């Protein structure tokens, strides 16, 4: 039985909504953008709070360091741009202006992964999670749908310290019902199962849900966990999954050698080694195309998750 | 400023220059020459211009100073110690394990340091954020950022210059320590940044061009910056790298090189004589 796919808002749209909501309750929240506010969806905040919105033009480095200056004076800046430009062009500013002094800066990279589609590889962030993980003590959030995005942006606004939020361009299938509660660092077990666990993040959570449904028809019970927080990892839930199901598959819209899978493998190898397989982009840049075509070509669909499940079950003793 | 004020400041510059050469020789590394070129600028700032209270480094109303050329850390630490942020005895812990006096300044390790710098080009942008926060909170503190002239090679400086000019951030003052040298040689040979005055003007800044070792000119420039409305101000301070120590002055082989102990003795003697002269 296939789960019913209901499209919700894109996570970037939900980010824009959440900014306005948190802006209404906290006047210290300021929003910065690098000339893409219509795309990152920070424009809604700009309209409602023009005095607390700053457009830096196409100058991401200046924006990120200025966010650090604002944070050091008690403001809570949310700075957004395309994930590729935010993380790659201003990595050094994130390192020294923000992460080293551990300032209370929130950054949001939209159009992450390859699901932005037709604009092609220059716009696609396939390494942003890795870069965020290379900034000590940065919280890394990858919401799977609009409900998760709104909830996590609100959590980010009250958490004190640097946070990276990764959003996507296309409409995202709904995973959660409105009102679902989220806590930074507490993963969501969204399907129970005892044979194998799929640990997915962002747009791949829906693919994992589909994969689990198909596997169930074949008698394989797949646990699906939404790792919406990649740092700090929910170690308890991970250990439980490794011990109870004995086999893990990770799934992410990111280079597979340096993102979610790598992060989890390091933890699992040390604490509870079990067979693992990894779904993600394999050591390459992508290209222009429709999102669904690209997911197919670069190995990010439910079908690819199922074949990883089959592989990992062969290795499971 | 009265003659006795100037004499007091001049005595302070001597103390600070001696701190710089002693600290770096004791550490066995560091950047004395880049610290020496900006001594008059920072002494004037910390003792005459900044509204600050060293006993309350987190006072929200304080003026902010950012040493964007973070390798001038010995100078910053010396003026901070001599202003009362911490004991001057601590200066000799520069660059040692567990010392808050890191090789380049880090705000989370030393109260009173406003930004973690050393990766060149970021200070002016951080200062913009602070200046915007003052605007939002309707506070009248001012933000000062010292950059090197080699540092102007960094593209981010010009992103910041463009933004501050466009947004008329007049509570922000940049000071360019124009000592004409960068690590690999003379700025004019490595990557010429002249004409500096016209460049900053064209970015929408009020520009003041001064001799950065003349205390009266330095103080006047800060007064003028404070009085300038509707534009950020940049003070181009023409200086000599290594000022006050003959072996370092205008010597392109001394970036990031401390004096040897015998050179230090010679330098301390010269500094004393220079002040008397």
Average pLDDT along chain B, 277 residues, taken 10 residues at a time: 92 98 97 97 98 98 98 98 98 98 98 98 98 98 98 98 98 98 95 97 98 98 98 98 94 90 96 71
Does A26 touch chain B if contact means CB atoms closer than 8 Å? no
Do A168 and A20 sit in the same domain of this protein?
yes
Residue at a domain's end among A173, A198, A224: A173
Residue A211 belongs to a domain: yes
Q: Cα B13 to chain center, whole Å?
A: 13
Does A71 touch chain B if contact means CB atoms closer than 8 Å? yes
Do A255 and A127 sit in the same domain of this protein?
no
Handedness of CA A162, A96, B22, B76 (dihedral sign): negative
Does A164 touch chain B if contact means CB atoms closer than 8 Å? no
Give the residue on B whose Cα is nearest the Cα of A94: B122
Do A205 and A150 sit in the same domain of this protein?
no
Check if the beta carbon of residue A209 is closer than 8 Å to that of residue A175.
Answer: yes
CATH 1.10.3720.10 for the B3-276 domain, yes or no: no
Check if the beta carbon of residue A79 is closer than 8 Å to that of residue A86.
Answer: yes
Structure tokens at A124: 């696609």
Residue at a domain's end among A173, A207, A242: A173
Does A69 touch chain B if contact means CB atoms closer than 8 Å? yes
Stated pTM of the model? 0.97
3-state helix, strand, coil in chain B (%, to 5): 45, 10, 40
Q: Residue B148: which of B16, B264, B255 has the closest Cα?
A: B255
Identified catalytic residue from A48, A60, A118, A287: A60
What is the reported pLDDT for A1?
A: 52
What is the reported pLDDT for B277?
A: 43
Structure tokens at B220: 């006047």
Do A163 and A212 sit in the same domain of this protein?
no
Tell me whether residues B122 and A65 touch, CB distance under 8 A: yes
Do A193 and A156 sit in the same domain of this protein?
no
The residue segments making up the domain with residue A290 are 188-315
> How many Cβ atoms are within 10 Å of B140's Cβ, its own excluded?
11
Tell me whether residues A70 and B132 touch, CB distance under 8 A: yes
Q: Say if the ipTM goes beyond 0.95.
A: yes
Do A96 and A238 sit in the same domain of this protein?
no
Does A59 touch chain B if contact means CB atoms closer than 8 Å? yes
Do A260 and A195 sit in the same domain of this protein?
yes
Find the chain B residues whose C-beta atoms sit closer than 8 A to any C-beta of A: 60, 106-108, 114-119, 121-122, 125-134, 136-137, 155-156, 159-160, 162-163
Tell me whether residues B128 and A51 touch, CB distance under 8 A: no
Residue A182 belongs to a domain: no
Task: Write the CB contacts of B35 (distance below 8 Å, at least 6 apart in sequence).
Answer: B20, B24, B72, B73, B74, B75, B78
Q: Which residues of chain A have pLDDT under 70?
A: 1-2
Residue A3 belongs to a domain: no
For the domain that residue A49 is a member of, what is the CATH number? 3.40.50.970
Do A75 and A206 sit in the same domain of this protein?
no
Do A218 and A293 sit in the same domain of this protein?
yes
The verdict on whether A60 is a catalytic residue reads yes
Residue A180 belongs to a domain: no
Do A162 and A198 sit in the same domain of this protein?
no
Do A46 and A169 sit in the same domain of this protein?
yes
Residue A120 belongs to a domain: yes
What is the reported pLDDT for B275?
A: 55
Give the residue on B whose Cα is nearest the Cα of A97: B116
């Amino acid at each position: 039985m296939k789960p019913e796919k209901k499209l919700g808002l894109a996570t970037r749209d939900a980010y824009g909504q959440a900014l306005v909501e948190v802006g209404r309750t906290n006047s210290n929240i300021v929003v910065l953008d690098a000339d893409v506010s219509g795309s990152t969806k920070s424009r809604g905040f700009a309209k409602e709070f023009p005095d607390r919105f700053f457009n830096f033009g196409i100058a991401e480095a200046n924006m990120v360091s200025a966010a650090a200056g604002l944070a050091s004076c008690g403001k809570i800046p949310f700075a957004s741009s395309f994930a590729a430009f935010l993380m790659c062009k201003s990595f050094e500013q994130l390192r020294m202006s923000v992460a080293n002094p551990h300032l209370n800066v929130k950054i949001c990279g939209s159009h992450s992964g390859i699901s932005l589609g037709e604009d092609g590889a220059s716009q696609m962030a396939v390494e942003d999670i890795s870069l965020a993980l290379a900034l000590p003590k940065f919280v890394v959030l990858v919401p799977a749908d609009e409900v998760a995005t709104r909830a996590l942006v609100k959590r980010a606004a009250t958490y004190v310290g640097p946070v990276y939020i990764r959003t996507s361009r296309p409409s995202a299938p709904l995973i959660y019902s409105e009102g679902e509660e989220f806590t930074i660092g507490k993963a969501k077990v969204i399907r129970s199962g005892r044979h194998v666990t799929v640990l997915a993040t962002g747009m791949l959570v829906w693919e994992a849900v589909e994969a689990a449904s198909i596997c169930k028809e074949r008698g394989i019970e797949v646990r699906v966990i939404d790792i919406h927080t990649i740092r700090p990892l929910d170690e308890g839930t991970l250990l439980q999954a490794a011990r109870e199901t004995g086999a893990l598959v990770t799934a992410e819209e990111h280079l597979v050698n340096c993102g979610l899978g790598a992060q989890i493998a390091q933890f699992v190898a040390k604490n509870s080694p079990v067979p693992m397989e990894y779904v993600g982009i394999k050591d390459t840049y992508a290209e222009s195309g429709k999102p669904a075509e690209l997911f197919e070509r670069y190995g990010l669909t439910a079908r690819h998750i199922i074949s990883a499940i089959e592989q990992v079950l062969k290795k499971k003793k | 400023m009265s003659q006795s004020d100037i004499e007091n400041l001049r005595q302070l510059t001597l103390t600070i220059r001696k701190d710089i050469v002693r600290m770096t020789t004791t550490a066995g590394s560091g950047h004395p020459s880049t610290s020496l070129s900006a001594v008059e600028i920072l002494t004037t700032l910390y003792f005459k211009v900044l509204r600050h209270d060293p006993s309350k480094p987190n006072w929200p109303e304080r003026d902010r100073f950012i040493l964007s050329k973070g390798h001038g850390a010995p100078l910053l630490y010396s003026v901070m110690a001599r202003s009362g942020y911490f004991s001057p005895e601590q200066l000799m812990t520069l660059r040692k394990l567990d010392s808050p006096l890191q090789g380049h300044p880090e705000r989370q390790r030393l109260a009173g340091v406003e930004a973690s710098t050393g990766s060149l080009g970021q200070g002016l942008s951080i200062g913009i954020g602070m200046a915007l926060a003052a605007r939002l909170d309707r506070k009248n503190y001012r933000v000062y950022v010292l950059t090197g002239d080699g540092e102007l090679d960094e593209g981010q400086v010009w992103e910041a210059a463009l933004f501050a000019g466009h947004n008329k951030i007049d509570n922000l003052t940049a000071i360019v320590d124009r000592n004409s040298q960068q690590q690999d040689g003379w700025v004019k040979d490595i990557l010429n940044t002249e004409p500096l005055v016209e460049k900053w003007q064209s970015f929408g800044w009020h520009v003041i061009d001064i001799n950065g070792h003349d205390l009266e000119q330095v103080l006047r420039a800060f007064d003028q910056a404070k009085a300038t409305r509707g534009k950020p101000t940049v003070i181009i301070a023409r200086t000599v790298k290594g000022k006050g120590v003959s072996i370092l002055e205008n010597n392109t082989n001394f970036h990031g090189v401390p004096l040897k102990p015998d050179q230090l003795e010679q330098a301390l003697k010269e500094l004393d004589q220079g002040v008397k002269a």
